Amino acid sequence: MRDGAVLEYDYSIAKLFLYATMAFGFIGMLIGVVLAFQLAFPDLNYIAGEYSIFGRLRPLHTNGVIYGFTLGGIWAGWYYIGQRVLKITYHQHPFLKLVGYLHFWIYIVVLILGVISLFAGLTQSKEYAELIWPLDILVVIIWVLWGVSMFGSMGVRREKTIYISLWYFIATFTGIAVLYIFNNLSIPTHLVSGVGSIWHSISMFAGSNDAMIQWWWGHNAVAFVFTSGVIATLYYFLPKESGQPLFSYKLTLFSFWSLMFVYIWAGGHHVIYSTVPDWVQTLGSVFSVVLILPSWGTAINMLLTMRGQWHQLKESPLIKFLVLASTFYMLATLEGPIQAIKSVNALAHFTDWIIGHVHDGTLGWVGFTIIAGCYHMVPRMYKREIYSRKIMDIQFWIMTIGIVLYFSSMWISGITQGMMWRDVDQYGNLTYQFIDTVRVLFPYYVIRGIGGLMYFIGFVLFIYNVVMTITAAKELEREPNYATPMAA
């Protein structure tokens, strides 16, 4: 290729991850809707015998959304963004292309085996780390392949500067690599003793130590997948879609380094008032509150990138997705630290308020960012305009209303739970039995189910719009520089 010639990017791997994002997003969210209504109508637990009970389905929902939808979207973003900001193309680097294909297909195999094993009831019984030990080994291979792809691409780059999105991709790779390996260090019992299932293993950590390692991992699965990986994509797609430069590169550096230093120690807030040492609980609580600074630094940087361009909110539903994603990030990263304060945690822990917090982050921040990123990539990868702006607008409002119904019902439900569980009479006896809270919360569980169903309907509209864009939308003569072209 001559110097100065236009690069022809290779989107083949990014397209594969796009398909995985839509497929596992659909599966994970559908199961999530079923789970939501099971809590309101317990008989739904038995629609398929043991395979439909809440405890069997929940790991499928969380793993499908985290590792299927979210990671799929992040990796689609990497294979799209990486070439463009590094000024390379996989057409010229067949080894990196091969690594990318291996990365995708082993990832798909693990997802399928994960679905089968979890449906079969095979699990390590650790939050966000349910996969059995043979699959853990494959997960490490997947992660190494991504590292080879990422650092290999940077090694052959034509662009000297490492754009901030790539800093966050590196953080995601490094953080998860360390955390996942340590939390999944286990001993396969059959191989050691010859007794029990070959799939069974026990953690190398015991008791409170295991709890600390688990939540060192558990919360940082959120930190380095839902947060740093998603920030990586947002830092590219919002400026690119809006045509605006980042508000402040210095603020990105402050937010990045402070987030990396502080977030990794915040997991202790999951074990407040437990048997772990008090200093671990206090450390988790304090660092969680400090997290407001880097989190809001990122969100404010994104919102101020739109300064003077707020009219784009009316003109582009894609900008609405990105701006509201940043807004939900601000909400979630204020609410989480508040819940980590010990006095608040005494009320909030084990209640639905925690569920509300998790889902205003995952549905609003994570979901909207990945959906917007896909909408930005698809016209450029397939050289077609978005099939329908109207469907995008309808999708945005259905999903937004669904999120509001979801988290507001869980706020009310959770605080009600916490107050009823703590209420005592004049003799110090508990005023309410547990079943009393279950009866009171029924309408809020129904509202949560409706909100989740609305979000799922919006996601189905998203899939339809993307498929129609790929197959039936008007072809583009050239790639748009900024705003994504959309049919009416």
Query: Under a CB-based contact definition with an 8 Å cutoff, are residues 266 and 288 in contact?
Result: yes
Helix (H, G, I), strand (E, B) or coil at 10: coil
Transcribe 106-150 into DSSP letters. HHHHHHHHHHHHHHTT-----TT--S-HHHHHHHHHHHHHHHHHH
Q: What is the pTM of this model?
A: 0.95
Radius of gyration of the chain (CA): 23
Report the C-alpha gap between 65 and 115 in whole angstroms: 12
The encoded tokens of residue 184 equal 């999944």
Question: Measured between alpha carbons, how far is 270 from 276 in angstroms, rounded to an integer?
Answer: 11
At 389-433, the pLDDT tens digits run: 999 999 999 999 999 999 999 999 999 999 999 999 999 999 999
Angle between the 292-305 and 278-290 helix axes, to the nearest 10 degrees? 20
CA-to-CA dists, residue 223 to 261, 456, 462, angstroms: 11, 24, 26
pLDDT digit string (tens) for 424-465? 999 999 999 999 999 999 999 999 999 999 999 999 999 999
> Tell me: the pLDDT tens digits for 81-106?
999 999 999 999 999 999 999 999 99
Task: Answer whether 353's CB lies under 8 Å from 333's CB.
Answer: no
**Residue 4 scores a pLDDT above 50:** no
- Check: CB of residue 301 under 8 Å from CB of residue 237: no
- Domains contained in the chain, CATH given: 1-129 (no CATH), 163-349 (1.20.210.10), 375-488 (no CATH)
